[in-house]
Chains A and B, each alone.
Chain A
Amino acid sequence: MENILEKVERYLKEIEKNNKKGKKINAILQINENILEEAKIVDEKIKRKEAGKLAGKVIAVKANINVKGMNINCASKVLENYIAPYDASVIERIKKEDGLIIGIANMDEFACGSSGETSAFGFTRNPINLELIPGGSSSGSAAAVGAGFCDVSLGSDTGGSIRNPASHCGVIGVKPTYGLVSRYGLIDLAMSLDQIGVISKNVNDSLLLLNVIKGKDKKDPTTFESKEIKIRETEKIKIALPEIKADEKIKEIVNEKVYEIAKREKWDVEKIKLKYIDLAIQTYYPIVYVEFFSATRKFDGRRFGKKIEEYCGEEVLRRILGGAEISKAEYKGKYYRTALNVRNLITKEIEKVFLKYDSIIMPTVPKLPHKIGTKLSVEEMYDYDALTIIANLAQIPAISIPIGSINDIPIGLQIMTKRFDESLMFSIAKKFEESQK
Protein backbone atom coordinates (compact mmCIF):
# COMPACT_ATOMS: atom_id res chain seq x y z
CA MET A 1 0.00 0.00 0.00
CA GLU A 2 1.23 3.45 -0.96
CA ASN A 3 2.50 5.65 1.88
CA ILE A 4 1.97 9.40 1.98
CA LEU A 5 5.35 10.26 0.51
CA GLU A 6 4.67 7.94 -2.43
CA LYS A 7 1.23 9.47 -2.93
CA VAL A 8 2.67 12.99 -2.95
CA GLU A 9 5.37 11.91 -5.41
CA ARG A 10 2.65 10.44 -7.62
CA TYR A 11 0.69 13.72 -7.59
CA LEU A 12 3.82 15.76 -8.30
CA LYS A 13 4.65 13.47 -11.25
CA GLU A 14 1.12 13.94 -12.55
CA ILE A 15 1.43 17.73 -12.38
CA GLU A 16 4.88 17.58 -14.00
CA LYS A 17 3.59 15.28 -16.76
CA ASN A 18 0.76 17.69 -17.49
CA ASN A 19 3.13 20.66 -17.52
CA LYS A 20 5.18 19.05 -20.25
CA LYS A 21 2.29 18.40 -22.61
CA GLY A 22 1.10 21.04 -25.04
CA LYS A 23 -2.35 21.31 -23.50
CA LYS A 24 -1.39 22.15 -19.94
CA ILE A 25 -4.33 22.38 -17.54
CA ASN A 26 -2.53 25.15 -15.59
CA ALA A 27 -4.38 24.39 -12.36
CA ILE A 28 -1.37 24.84 -10.07
CA LEU A 29 0.62 28.09 -10.00
CA GLN A 30 3.20 27.15 -7.41
CA ILE A 31 4.29 23.90 -5.78
CA ASN A 32 5.10 23.79 -2.06
CA GLU A 33 8.83 23.07 -2.19
CA ASN A 34 8.75 21.53 1.31
CA ILE A 35 6.00 19.03 0.64
CA LEU A 36 8.21 15.96 0.33
CA GLU A 37 9.82 16.63 3.72
CA GLU A 38 6.42 17.32 5.23
CA ALA A 39 5.08 14.06 3.78
CA LYS A 40 7.92 12.11 5.42
CA ILE A 41 7.05 13.68 8.77
CA VAL A 42 3.39 12.69 8.37
CA ASP A 43 4.39 9.12 7.47
CA GLU A 44 6.42 8.95 10.69
CA LYS A 45 3.50 10.30 12.70
CA ILE A 46 1.19 7.71 11.15
CA LYS A 47 3.62 4.94 12.15
CA ARG A 48 3.61 6.28 15.73
CA LYS A 49 -0.20 6.53 15.60
CA GLU A 50 0.07 10.25 16.38
CA ALA A 51 -1.21 11.63 13.09
CA GLY A 52 -4.04 14.16 12.78
CA LYS A 53 -7.45 13.81 11.12
CA LEU A 54 -6.17 15.00 7.75
CA ALA A 55 -3.02 12.88 7.74
CA GLY A 56 -2.15 12.07 4.20
CA LYS A 57 -4.71 14.34 2.56
CA VAL A 58 -3.01 16.33 -0.18
CA ILE A 59 -4.61 19.74 -0.59
CA ALA A 60 -4.37 22.49 -3.18
CA VAL A 61 -5.19 25.99 -1.96
CA LYS A 62 -6.75 28.79 -4.02
CA ALA A 63 -4.39 31.69 -4.65
CA ASN A 64 -6.38 34.10 -2.48
CA ILE A 65 -5.93 32.21 0.79
CA ASN A 66 -2.75 33.04 2.69
CA VAL A 67 -0.27 30.18 3.09
CA LYS A 68 2.81 31.46 4.90
CA GLY A 69 5.90 31.70 2.71
CA MET A 70 4.04 31.09 -0.55
CA ASN A 71 3.21 33.51 -3.35
CA ILE A 72 -0.45 34.39 -2.79
CA ASN A 73 -1.07 36.47 -5.87
CA CYS A 74 -4.86 36.15 -6.46
CA ALA A 75 -3.83 35.36 -10.06
CA SER A 76 -2.91 39.00 -10.54
CA LYS A 77 0.19 40.99 -11.54
CA VAL A 78 -0.73 43.30 -8.65
CA LEU A 79 0.47 40.68 -6.17
CA GLU A 80 2.85 38.69 -8.33
CA ASN A 81 5.67 39.11 -5.82
CA TYR A 82 3.59 39.01 -2.64
CA ILE A 83 4.72 36.38 -0.13
CA ALA A 84 2.18 35.54 2.56
CA PRO A 85 3.58 36.48 5.99
CA TYR A 86 1.09 34.32 7.84
CA ASP A 87 -1.23 31.34 7.51
CA ALA A 88 -4.95 31.90 7.12
CA SER A 89 -6.88 30.35 10.02
CA VAL A 90 -8.12 27.52 7.78
CA ILE A 91 -4.49 26.73 6.84
CA GLU A 92 -3.44 26.67 10.50
CA ARG A 93 -6.21 24.16 11.18
CA ILE A 94 -5.24 22.02 8.20
CA LYS A 95 -1.58 21.94 9.22
CA LYS A 96 -2.51 21.13 12.82
CA GLU A 97 -4.30 18.02 11.55
CA ASP A 98 -1.39 17.01 9.27
CA GLY A 99 -3.00 17.98 5.99
CA LEU A 100 -0.38 18.54 3.28
CA ILE A 101 -0.51 21.65 1.07
CA ILE A 102 0.74 20.61 -2.34
CA GLY A 103 0.52 24.02 -3.93
CA ILE A 104 -1.35 27.16 -4.83
CA ALA A 105 -4.22 26.84 -7.29
CA ASN A 106 -4.97 29.17 -10.19
CA MET A 107 -8.12 31.26 -10.21
CA ASP A 108 -9.90 34.16 -11.88
CA GLU A 109 -8.09 37.36 -11.01
CA PHE A 110 -9.14 38.51 -7.53
CA ALA A 111 -12.03 36.03 -7.76
CA CYS A 112 -13.72 38.32 -10.31
CA GLY A 113 -14.93 35.75 -12.79
CA SER A 114 -16.83 32.57 -13.51
CA SER A 115 -14.76 31.00 -16.25
CA GLY A 116 -11.11 30.55 -15.24
CA GLU A 117 -10.01 32.70 -18.19
CA THR A 118 -8.99 35.90 -16.41
CA SER A 119 -5.88 34.80 -14.51
CA ALA A 120 -2.85 36.96 -15.26
CA PHE A 121 -0.85 33.70 -15.33
CA GLY A 122 -2.79 31.96 -18.05
CA PHE A 123 -6.21 30.39 -18.22
CA THR A 124 -7.01 27.04 -16.67
CA ARG A 125 -8.43 24.23 -18.78
CA ASN A 126 -11.24 21.87 -17.88
CA PRO A 127 -9.64 18.45 -17.28
CA ILE A 128 -12.77 16.69 -18.62
CA ASN A 129 -12.58 18.53 -21.94
CA LEU A 130 -9.50 20.66 -22.49
CA GLU A 131 -11.26 22.95 -24.99
CA LEU A 132 -13.74 24.11 -22.36
CA ILE A 133 -13.56 26.47 -19.44
CA PRO A 134 -13.32 24.85 -16.03
CA GLY A 135 -15.53 27.57 -14.53
CA GLY A 136 -14.52 30.00 -11.83
CA SER A 137 -13.37 31.70 -9.93
CA SER A 138 -11.92 28.65 -8.09
CA SER A 139 -10.90 27.30 -11.50
CA GLY A 140 -7.57 25.78 -10.49
CA SER A 141 -8.97 24.29 -7.27
CA ALA A 142 -11.66 22.39 -9.17
CA ALA A 143 -9.44 21.48 -12.11
CA ALA A 144 -6.72 20.18 -9.77
CA VAL A 145 -9.12 17.78 -8.08
CA GLY A 146 -10.68 16.77 -11.41
CA ALA A 147 -7.27 16.17 -12.99
CA GLY A 148 -5.95 14.08 -10.12
CA PHE A 149 -3.34 16.58 -8.91
CA CYS A 150 -4.48 16.39 -5.28
CA ASP A 151 -7.09 14.80 -3.00
CA VAL A 152 -9.05 17.90 -2.11
CA SER A 153 -8.77 21.62 -2.50
CA LEU A 154 -9.82 24.86 -0.89
CA GLY A 155 -11.66 27.48 -2.83
CA SER A 156 -13.68 30.58 -2.04
CA ASP A 157 -17.30 31.20 -3.00
CA THR A 158 -18.92 34.63 -3.19
CA GLY A 159 -21.61 33.98 -5.81
CA GLY A 160 -20.85 30.42 -6.89
CA SER A 161 -17.08 30.39 -7.30
CA ILE A 162 -16.70 26.93 -5.79
CA ARG A 163 -19.91 25.35 -7.02
CA ASN A 164 -19.69 26.62 -10.61
CA PRO A 165 -16.26 25.12 -11.41
CA ALA A 166 -17.14 21.99 -9.42
CA SER A 167 -20.14 21.50 -11.69
CA HIS A 168 -18.18 22.08 -14.90
CA CYS A 169 -15.29 19.81 -13.82
CA GLY A 170 -17.45 16.97 -12.52
CA VAL A 171 -16.39 17.19 -8.89
CA ILE A 172 -18.03 18.12 -5.59
CA GLY A 173 -17.96 21.71 -4.34
CA VAL A 174 -19.22 23.01 -1.01
CA LYS A 175 -20.05 26.56 0.02
CA PRO A 176 -20.70 26.51 3.77
CA THR A 177 -23.11 28.67 5.76
CA TYR A 178 -21.76 32.20 6.05
CA GLY A 179 -19.97 32.25 9.37
CA LEU A 180 -19.19 28.53 9.55
CA VAL A 181 -15.63 28.95 8.31
CA SER A 182 -13.21 31.71 9.22
CA ARG A 183 -12.34 34.22 6.51
CA TYR A 184 -9.22 35.37 8.35
CA GLY A 185 -6.45 35.22 5.79
CA LEU A 186 -8.78 35.18 2.77
CA ILE A 187 -8.14 38.07 0.42
CA ASP A 188 -11.69 39.30 0.12
CA LEU A 189 -13.86 39.95 -2.87
CA ALA A 190 -17.05 40.88 -1.01
CA MET A 191 -16.89 40.44 2.71
CA SER A 192 -20.60 39.99 3.36
CA LEU A 193 -20.77 37.16 0.81
CA ASP A 194 -17.37 35.39 0.75
CA GLN A 195 -16.89 31.96 2.27
CA ILE A 196 -13.98 29.56 2.06
CA GLY A 197 -15.17 26.10 1.06
CA VAL A 198 -13.98 22.73 -0.16
CA ILE A 199 -13.76 20.75 -3.40
CA SER A 200 -13.30 17.00 -3.59
CA LYS A 201 -14.01 13.88 -5.61
CA ASN A 202 -16.31 12.40 -3.00
CA VAL A 203 -18.69 13.54 -0.26
CA ASN A 204 -16.66 12.00 2.58
CA ASP A 205 -13.53 14.01 1.78
CA SER A 206 -15.44 17.29 1.64
CA LEU A 207 -17.08 16.45 4.95
CA LEU A 208 -13.76 15.59 6.57
CA LEU A 209 -12.02 18.77 5.42
CA LEU A 210 -14.95 21.04 6.27
CA ASN A 211 -15.16 19.60 9.79
CA VAL A 212 -11.49 20.46 10.30
CA ILE A 213 -11.55 24.02 8.95
CA LYS A 214 -14.86 25.16 10.40
CA GLY A 215 -15.53 26.73 13.76
CA LYS A 216 -15.37 29.92 15.75
CA ASP A 217 -12.27 32.01 15.22
CA LYS A 218 -11.58 35.08 17.34
CA LYS A 219 -9.78 36.60 14.37
CA ASP A 220 -13.03 36.57 12.36
CA PRO A 221 -15.91 37.89 14.45
CA THR A 222 -18.48 36.71 11.90
CA THR A 223 -17.78 33.08 12.78
CA PHE A 224 -19.87 30.81 14.94
CA GLU A 225 -19.24 27.63 16.89
CA SER A 226 -21.03 24.64 15.40
CA LYS A 227 -21.53 20.93 15.96
CA GLU A 228 -19.67 18.29 14.02
CA ILE A 229 -21.19 17.75 10.58
CA LYS A 230 -22.40 14.16 10.29
CA ILE A 231 -24.25 12.04 7.79
CA ARG A 232 -27.73 11.24 9.11
CA GLU A 233 -30.96 9.61 8.02
CA THR A 234 -33.01 11.47 5.44
CA GLU A 235 -36.35 9.71 5.53
CA LYS A 236 -39.51 11.76 4.98
CA ILE A 237 -37.75 14.99 4.14
CA LYS A 238 -39.44 17.54 1.87
CA ILE A 239 -37.62 18.80 -1.16
CA ALA A 240 -38.47 22.04 -2.96
CA LEU A 241 -37.84 22.16 -6.71
CA PRO A 242 -38.01 25.82 -7.73
CA GLU A 243 -39.09 26.96 -11.17
CA ILE A 244 -35.94 28.34 -12.77
CA LYS A 245 -34.54 29.56 -16.08
CA ALA A 246 -31.90 27.17 -17.40
CA ASP A 247 -31.00 25.00 -20.35
CA GLU A 248 -33.92 22.59 -20.82
CA LYS A 249 -31.75 19.50 -21.00
CA ILE A 250 -29.95 20.44 -17.77
CA LYS A 251 -33.29 20.92 -16.00
CA GLU A 252 -34.57 17.61 -17.34
CA ILE A 253 -31.54 15.65 -16.12
CA VAL A 254 -31.60 17.28 -12.67
CA ASN A 255 -35.36 16.88 -12.18
CA GLU A 256 -35.31 13.25 -13.30
CA LYS A 257 -32.54 12.49 -10.87
CA VAL A 258 -34.34 14.20 -8.00
CA TYR A 259 -37.54 12.21 -8.60
CA GLU A 260 -35.58 8.98 -8.97
CA ILE A 261 -33.76 9.39 -5.66
CA ALA A 262 -36.83 10.81 -3.91
CA LYS A 263 -38.83 7.71 -4.85
CA ARG A 264 -36.11 5.43 -3.55
CA GLU A 265 -35.57 7.37 -0.32
CA LYS A 266 -39.22 8.20 0.34
CA TRP A 267 -38.78 11.97 0.10
CA ASP A 268 -41.59 14.36 -0.80
CA VAL A 269 -40.87 16.58 -3.76
CA GLU A 270 -42.82 19.70 -4.62
CA LYS A 271 -42.36 22.25 -7.36
CA ILE A 272 -42.36 25.81 -6.04
CA LYS A 273 -42.03 29.36 -7.26
CA LEU A 274 -39.10 31.08 -5.57
CA LYS A 275 -39.87 34.76 -5.35
CA TYR A 276 -37.12 37.13 -6.42
CA ILE A 277 -34.87 34.42 -7.87
CA ASP A 278 -34.97 36.33 -11.16
CA LEU A 279 -33.43 39.30 -9.34
CA ALA A 280 -30.51 37.39 -7.83
CA ILE A 281 -27.91 38.75 -10.26
CA GLN A 282 -29.23 42.33 -10.08
CA THR A 283 -29.11 42.18 -6.28
CA TYR A 284 -25.69 40.57 -6.07
CA TYR A 285 -23.56 42.71 -8.34
CA PRO A 286 -24.14 46.16 -6.82
CA ILE A 287 -23.17 44.66 -3.45
CA VAL A 288 -20.09 43.01 -4.93
CA TYR A 289 -19.02 46.13 -6.83
CA VAL A 290 -19.18 48.32 -3.72
CA GLU A 291 -17.62 45.80 -1.33
CA PHE A 292 -14.87 44.94 -3.81
CA PHE A 293 -14.05 48.62 -4.34
CA SER A 294 -13.68 48.91 -0.57
CA ALA A 295 -11.64 45.69 -0.36
CA THR A 296 -9.14 46.87 -2.96
CA ARG A 297 -8.20 50.17 -1.32
CA LYS A 298 -5.37 48.37 0.44
CA PHE A 299 -3.72 47.58 -2.91
CA ASP A 300 -2.11 50.98 -3.24
CA GLY A 301 1.39 49.70 -3.90
CA ARG A 302 2.78 51.27 -0.73
CA ARG A 303 3.25 48.37 1.69
CA PHE A 304 3.12 45.46 -0.74
CA GLY A 305 2.25 44.69 -4.32
CA LYS A 306 1.42 47.28 -6.95
CA LYS A 307 -1.32 49.85 -7.37
CA ILE A 308 -4.24 47.72 -8.45
CA GLU A 309 -5.79 50.09 -10.99
CA GLU A 310 -2.53 50.15 -12.93
CA TYR A 311 -1.93 46.42 -13.15
CA CYS A 312 -5.24 44.59 -12.98
CA GLY A 313 -7.33 43.01 -15.74
CA GLU A 314 -10.52 44.23 -17.34
CA GLU A 315 -13.17 42.73 -15.06
CA VAL A 316 -11.32 43.72 -11.89
CA LEU A 317 -11.04 47.28 -13.15
CA ARG A 318 -14.69 47.32 -14.16
CA ARG A 319 -15.77 46.33 -10.66
CA ILE A 320 -13.47 48.84 -8.97
CA LEU A 321 -14.58 51.73 -11.18
CA GLY A 322 -18.22 50.68 -10.94
CA GLY A 323 -18.00 50.32 -7.17
CA ALA A 324 -16.28 53.69 -6.80
CA GLU A 325 -18.97 55.34 -8.90
CA ILE A 326 -22.08 53.88 -7.31
CA SER A 327 -20.90 54.40 -3.76
CA LYS A 328 -20.56 58.15 -4.25
CA ALA A 329 -22.45 60.29 -1.75
CA GLU A 330 -24.47 61.96 -4.51
CA TYR A 331 -26.42 58.76 -5.16
CA LYS A 332 -27.44 58.53 -1.49
CA GLY A 333 -27.24 54.77 -1.45
CA LYS A 334 -29.46 54.30 -4.47
CA TYR A 335 -27.51 51.28 -5.64
CA TYR A 336 -26.03 49.56 -2.60
CA ARG A 337 -28.89 50.31 -0.24
CA THR A 338 -31.50 49.17 -2.77
CA ALA A 339 -29.57 45.97 -3.33
CA LEU A 340 -29.28 45.36 0.40
CA ASN A 341 -33.02 45.86 0.82
CA VAL A 342 -33.79 43.29 -1.87
CA ARG A 343 -31.19 40.99 -0.35
CA ASN A 344 -33.12 41.14 2.92
CA LEU A 345 -36.31 40.20 1.07
CA ILE A 346 -34.57 37.28 -0.62
CA THR A 347 -33.24 36.08 2.72
CA LYS A 348 -36.71 36.26 4.28
CA GLU A 349 -38.18 34.41 1.31
CA ILE A 350 -35.64 31.61 1.66
CA GLU A 351 -36.33 31.40 5.39
CA LYS A 352 -40.05 31.03 4.59
CA VAL A 353 -39.29 28.18 2.19
CA PHE A 354 -37.35 26.37 4.90
CA LEU A 355 -40.31 26.56 7.25
CA LYS A 356 -42.08 24.16 4.93
CA TYR A 357 -39.25 22.32 3.16
CA ASP A 358 -36.00 20.71 4.30
CA SER A 359 -33.99 21.37 1.17
CA ILE A 360 -34.03 23.30 -2.08
CA ILE A 361 -32.58 21.47 -5.08
CA MET A 362 -31.82 22.83 -8.54
CA PRO A 363 -29.09 22.72 -11.17
CA THR A 364 -25.83 24.40 -10.15
CA VAL A 365 -25.31 26.27 -13.42
CA PRO A 366 -27.97 27.30 -15.97
CA LYS A 367 -25.86 26.51 -19.02
CA LEU A 368 -22.96 24.34 -20.14
CA PRO A 369 -19.40 25.69 -20.01
CA HIS A 370 -18.30 27.53 -23.14
CA LYS A 371 -15.17 26.98 -25.22
CA ILE A 372 -12.12 28.81 -23.91
CA GLY A 373 -11.76 32.16 -25.63
CA THR A 374 -15.42 32.54 -26.64
CA LYS A 375 -16.40 36.21 -26.59
CA LEU A 376 -19.19 36.75 -24.08
CA SER A 377 -20.77 40.01 -23.01
CA VAL A 378 -20.33 41.01 -19.37
CA GLU A 379 -23.94 40.11 -18.60
CA GLU A 380 -23.66 36.74 -20.36
CA MET A 381 -20.72 35.98 -18.07
CA TYR A 382 -22.67 37.13 -15.01
CA ASP A 383 -25.53 34.81 -16.05
CA TYR A 384 -23.46 31.78 -15.04
CA ASP A 385 -24.10 32.80 -11.41
CA ALA A 386 -27.89 32.99 -11.70
CA LEU A 387 -28.58 29.83 -9.69
CA THR A 388 -25.72 29.93 -7.21
CA ILE A 389 -25.93 33.54 -6.01
CA ILE A 390 -29.09 32.96 -3.99
CA ALA A 391 -27.25 30.82 -1.42
CA ASN A 392 -24.66 33.54 -0.86
CA LEU A 393 -27.29 36.27 -0.54
CA ALA A 394 -29.25 34.23 2.01
CA GLN A 395 -26.05 32.99 3.70
CA ILE A 396 -27.16 29.34 3.48
CA PRO A 397 -24.99 26.31 2.69
CA ALA A 398 -24.97 24.76 -0.77
CA ILE A 399 -23.22 21.82 -2.37
CA SER A 400 -22.80 20.91 -6.02
CA ILE A 401 -22.47 17.25 -6.90
CA PRO A 402 -22.01 15.72 -10.36
CA ILE A 403 -25.11 13.76 -11.47
CA GLY A 404 -24.82 13.26 -15.18
CA SER A 405 -23.57 14.79 -18.38
CA ILE A 406 -24.58 16.22 -21.74
CA ASN A 407 -22.22 15.17 -24.55
CA ASP A 408 -19.74 14.10 -21.84
CA ILE A 409 -19.83 17.57 -20.25
CA PRO A 410 -20.60 17.19 -16.52
CA ILE A 411 -23.78 18.55 -14.96
CA GLY A 412 -23.93 19.58 -11.32
CA LEU A 413 -26.93 19.31 -9.05
CA GLN A 414 -27.12 21.84 -6.24
CA ILE A 415 -28.50 21.06 -2.80
CA MET A 416 -29.26 23.87 -0.34
CA THR A 417 -30.44 23.69 3.23
CA LYS A 418 -31.09 26.22 5.94
CA ARG A 419 -28.26 27.91 7.77
CA PHE A 420 -25.95 25.58 9.73
CA ASP A 421 -27.78 22.48 8.48
CA GLU A 422 -24.72 21.15 6.64
CA SER A 423 -25.40 17.70 8.10
CA LEU A 424 -28.65 17.40 6.18
CA MET A 425 -27.08 18.89 3.06
CA PHE A 426 -24.27 16.34 3.09
CA SER A 427 -26.69 13.51 3.92
CA ILE A 428 -28.82 14.32 0.87
CA ALA A 429 -25.68 14.66 -1.26
CA LYS A 430 -24.54 11.21 -0.10
CA LYS A 431 -27.76 9.67 -1.39
CA PHE A 432 -27.20 11.19 -4.82
CA GLU A 433 -23.57 10.10 -4.78
CA GLU A 434 -24.50 6.51 -3.93
CA SER A 435 -26.91 6.46 -6.86
CA GLN A 436 -24.05 7.24 -9.25
CA LYS A 437 -22.08 4.12 -8.30
Chain B
Amino acid sequence: MEIEKYKEEAKEIMDKFVKALEKVSIEQENFVERDEDRRVEEAGESSDNSFREIMFLNAPLKKEDFIIAEKKKW
Protein backbone atom coordinates (compact mmCIF):
# COMPACT_ATOMS: atom_id res chain seq x y z
CA MET B 1 0.00 0.00 0.00
CA GLU B 2 1.09 3.54 -0.60
CA ILE B 3 2.00 4.40 2.96
CA GLU B 4 3.82 7.63 2.18
CA LYS B 5 0.92 8.83 0.07
CA TYR B 6 -1.60 8.27 2.88
CA LYS B 7 0.73 9.81 5.45
CA GLU B 8 1.15 12.94 3.34
CA GLU B 9 -2.55 13.15 2.62
CA ALA B 10 -3.41 12.82 6.31
CA LYS B 11 -0.83 15.47 7.28
CA GLU B 12 -2.17 17.83 4.61
CA ILE B 13 -5.70 17.48 5.87
CA MET B 14 -4.62 17.96 9.48
CA ASP B 15 -2.55 21.04 8.58
CA LYS B 16 -5.55 22.53 6.79
CA PHE B 17 -7.85 21.81 9.71
CA VAL B 18 -5.49 23.16 12.34
CA LYS B 19 -4.88 26.33 10.33
CA ALA B 20 -8.61 27.03 10.62
CA LEU B 21 -8.62 26.23 14.33
CA GLU B 22 -5.63 28.45 15.12
CA LYS B 23 -7.68 31.48 14.09
CA VAL B 24 -9.93 30.93 17.11
CA SER B 25 -8.78 32.92 20.11
CA ILE B 26 -8.40 30.78 23.20
CA GLU B 27 -8.40 32.69 26.47
CA GLN B 28 -7.66 29.87 28.80
CA GLU B 29 -6.71 26.26 28.46
CA ASN B 30 -8.80 23.94 30.61
CA PHE B 31 -6.44 21.08 31.22
CA VAL B 32 -4.90 19.51 34.25
CA GLU B 33 -1.31 18.49 33.65
CA ARG B 34 -0.71 15.10 35.20
CA ASP B 35 3.06 14.70 35.26
CA GLU B 36 3.00 13.17 38.74
CA ASP B 37 0.00 10.85 38.66
CA ARG B 38 0.53 7.27 37.73
CA ARG B 39 -2.03 4.50 37.40
CA VAL B 40 -2.02 2.01 40.30
CA GLU B 41 -1.77 -1.50 38.97
CA GLU B 42 -3.96 -3.92 40.88
CA ALA B 43 -4.92 -7.50 40.21
CA GLY B 44 -7.72 -7.44 37.67
CA GLU B 45 -11.02 -9.29 37.84
CA SER B 46 -10.81 -13.01 37.35
CA SER B 47 -12.71 -14.48 34.44
CA ASP B 48 -14.19 -17.86 33.69
CA ASN B 49 -12.38 -20.66 31.82
CA SER B 50 -14.19 -19.98 28.58
CA PHE B 51 -12.48 -16.55 28.36
CA ARG B 52 -9.07 -18.22 28.53
CA GLU B 53 -10.04 -20.88 25.99
CA ILE B 54 -11.31 -18.39 23.47
CA MET B 55 -8.25 -16.12 23.87
CA PHE B 56 -5.99 -19.06 23.12
CA LEU B 57 -8.12 -19.81 20.06
CA ASN B 58 -7.58 -16.20 18.97
CA ALA B 59 -3.81 -16.23 19.44
CA PRO B 60 -1.87 -16.56 16.18
CA LEU B 61 1.04 -18.45 17.75
CA LYS B 62 0.94 -20.55 20.86
CA LYS B 63 2.76 -23.33 22.65
CA GLU B 64 1.23 -25.19 25.55
CA ASP B 65 0.17 -22.53 28.05
CA PHE B 66 1.89 -19.61 26.38
CA ILE B 67 1.10 -17.15 23.64
CA ILE B 68 4.25 -16.66 21.60
CA ALA B 69 5.23 -13.17 20.53
CA GLU B 70 8.47 -12.33 18.76
CA LYS B 71 11.02 -10.29 20.65
CA LYS B 72 11.14 -6.81 19.27
CA LYS B 73 11.53 -3.26 20.39
CA TRP B 74 8.19 -2.17 21.85
Residues of chain A touching chain B, judged by Cβ–Cβ distance below 8 Å, are: 68-69, 81-86, 276, 279, 281-283, 285-286, 289, 301-306, 309, 314, 317-319, 321-323, 325-326, 334-335, 337-342, 344-345, 378-379
Contact = CB atoms under 8 A, between A and B. Distances in A.
Contact of A319 (B10, B20, B58): B10
Contact of B59 (A86, A276, A303): A303
B46 interface: no
A339 B21 contact: yes
A341 B69 CA distance: 40
B20 A282 contact: yes
A322 to B, nearest CB: 3
A321 B21 contact: no
27 contacts: A68-B54, A85-B50, A85-B55, A281-B17, A285-B13, A285-B14, A286-B14, A289-B10, A302-B67, A303-B58, A304-B55, A304-B58, A314-B1, A317-B3, A317-B6, A318-B6, A318-B10, A319-B10, A321-B10, A322-B13, A323-B10, A325-B14, A337-B29, A338-B22, A339-B17, A341-B29, A345-B26
Contacts of A279: 20-21, 24
B57 A83 contact: yes
A282 B57 CA distance: 41
Given A68-B54, A82-B58, A321-B7, 8 more contacts: A85-B52, A279-B20, A282-B20, A286-B18, A314-B6, A339-B18, A341-B24, A345-B24
A80 to B, nearest CB: 11
- Majority SS at the chain B contact face: helix
User: Which of A276, A303, A378 lies at the interface centre, i.e. has the most chain B CB atoms within 10 A of its CB?
Assistant: A303
A322 B58 contact: no
A309 B57 CA distance: 22
A319 B70 CA distance: 26
Contacts of A344: 30
A419 B3 CA distance: 40
Nearest to A324: B7
A309 B7 CA distance: 12
Interface in B18-55: 18, 20-22, 24, 26, 29-31, 47, 50-52, 54-55
A81 B10 contact: no
Contacts of B26: 341-342, 345
Q: Which 3 A-B pairs have the closest CB atoms?
A: A322-B10, A282-B17, A304-B58
